[in-house]
Amino acid sequence: MAKDSIENAMSQKRPVIDPSLWNQLLEIEKDEKSLSHISLTYSQDVWRRLRSNKGALFGLIIIIALILFALIGPLLTNHSYDDGTLTLSNIPPRYEIYKVNNEYFYLHKNLKLYLTEEDGSIIKMLEKDSEDLFKKQLIYAVGNGNLIIDYSTKNILTLIDENGTTFESYKNVANKTNLLGTDHLGRDLLTRIMYGARVSLLVAVVAALVNFVIGMMYGGIAGYFGGKVDNIMMRIVDIISIIPLTLYVILIMVVLNSGLLSIIIALGSVYWVDMARVVRGQMLSLKEEEFVYAAKTIGTKPLKIITTHLLPNAMGAIIVTLTMLIPSAIFTEAFMSFIGLGVTAPMASWGTLCNEALESIRSFSYQLFFPSIAICITMIAFNLMGDGLRDALDPKLRK
């Protein structure tokens, strides 16, 4: 078994050529135009390679969908991210309803009874009329009879009528009021996830900008001037990057207190080091090219050489590094929020949503799943996109 596979891995199969291909072409079949190659510009070439990569295309579509979700989504919901109805707290996206005298009821795990429509939208929470602590029953006066929630058996709630007959659940319906349910304060989870997407994308944009500005200039200057300047600048980068960047972000966040602005400052102050390294490496090889000497000869200033001659030539490597750094910045923000250092209270971020949901994971696990899925999809999309871009921009790197 292993032997075959090693043979396979070591030798490439020879392609089989169809014998009919050796036949001479007829005169009309000789279409010279179709044989000549249409010349493509660099960006067209990149786009062509990117388009043929299914994973990258999938990532790209998800990212565009995510941007639309974050930008347009909040305009379409009639819920706000920071204001909830406490009576509607912890309502899952799907639930069982009971049918009693042509009225529909939803029995919530937390001993609450809701009046609903048949399609699942909640009309209101009912107030209990009395409670029988001895029998462990809650009594609701509905119409001309009583509905009773029986909680005498551990972990099992039943809805019974006055005569003690148990109601069977009528059907399982989707929550029409809050599509993904509500959190512990009755806020709409879908809306909060939309705002969380805004935070994540904002962090992504900021990380990209910081990398572009600081990372590129830092690496560009170090690489171009070389010698002592390079030595000192890169030693600083070495010292910064020896302990995990997350640790710096934590320290800076502790100093600045939590908040969206602090996250952005914290990410901005250290997240450029990898980019600086990459750009420096590119500079070292590019600065020996003839066009740089030509620019120097006509007296171009060093800064101008870096920005107009060198950096555009290193753009491929820069974009590749960028697409790798963006997901890691999004991850860091979620991570910070998860350990309680992220955005402040009413604001929602995927990390804080996961953190809040962790406390009630036993009863209301849906609160954890939706933000987690959002994080996973985003991370996977950015990574697929990044991998695809790397292959498209630099086919030599492809394995």
Binding site for other proteins (CB under 8 A): 2-3, 5-6, 8-10, 238-239, 242-244, 246-247, 250-252, 254-255, 327, 331, 334-335, 338-341, 351, 354, 358, 361-362, 365, 368, 372, 375-376, 379-380, 383, 399
> In the beta sheet, which residues pair with residue 145?
142
Q: Which residues contact 53 (CB under 8 A, 6 or more apart)?
A: 388, 391, 392
| Contact present, 260 and 343 (Cβ < 8 Å) | yes
Q: Which residues contact 267 (CB under 8 A, 6 or more apart)?
A: 203, 206, 207, 210, 249, 329, 332, 333
Question: Smallest distance from the beta carbon of 58 to other proteins, in angstroms?
Answer: 12
Q: Which residues contact 287 (CB under 8 A, 6 or more apart)?
A: 223, 224, 226, 310
Q: Which amino acid is at 32?
A: E
Q: Which of 359, 356, 341 is CA-nearest to residue 193? A: 356
Burial class for 281, CB neighbours closer than 10 Å (0-12, 13-18, 19+)? middle
> Closer to other proteins at the Cβ: 52 or 257?
257
> Closer to other proteins at the Cβ: 247 or 261?
247
| Contact present, 395 and 50 (Cβ < 8 Å) | no
Question: Smallest distance from the beta carbon of 234 to other proteins, in angstroms?
Answer: 11
Question: Smallest distance from the beta carbon of 316 to other proteins, in angstroms?
Answer: 20
> Closer to other proteins at the Cβ: 174 or 247?
247
> Closer to other proteins at the Cβ: 146 or 383?
383
Question: Smallest distance from the beta carbon of 4 to other proteins, in angstroms?
Answer: 9
Question: Smallest distance from the beta carbon of 40 to other proteins, in angstroms?
Answer: 28
> Closer to other proteins at the Cβ: 4 or 31?
4
The Cα–Cα gap between 337 and 372 comes to 13
The Cα–Cα gap between 223 and 174 comes to 59
> Closer to other proteins at the Cβ: 72 or 243?
243
> Closer to other proteins at the Cβ: 221 or 252?
252
> Closer to other proteins at the Cβ: 160 or 250?
250
| Contact present, 84 and 185 (Cβ < 8 Å) | yes
The Cα–Cα gap between 211 and 62 comes to 23
Question: Smallest distance from the beta carbon of 18 to other proteins, in angstroms?
Answer: 23
| Contact present, 245 and 331 (Cβ < 8 Å) | no
Question: Smallest distance from the beta carbon of 247 to other proteins, in angstroms?
Answer: 6
Question: Smallest distance from the beta carbon of 242 to other proteins, in angstroms?
Answer: 6
Tokens of 19: 């014998």
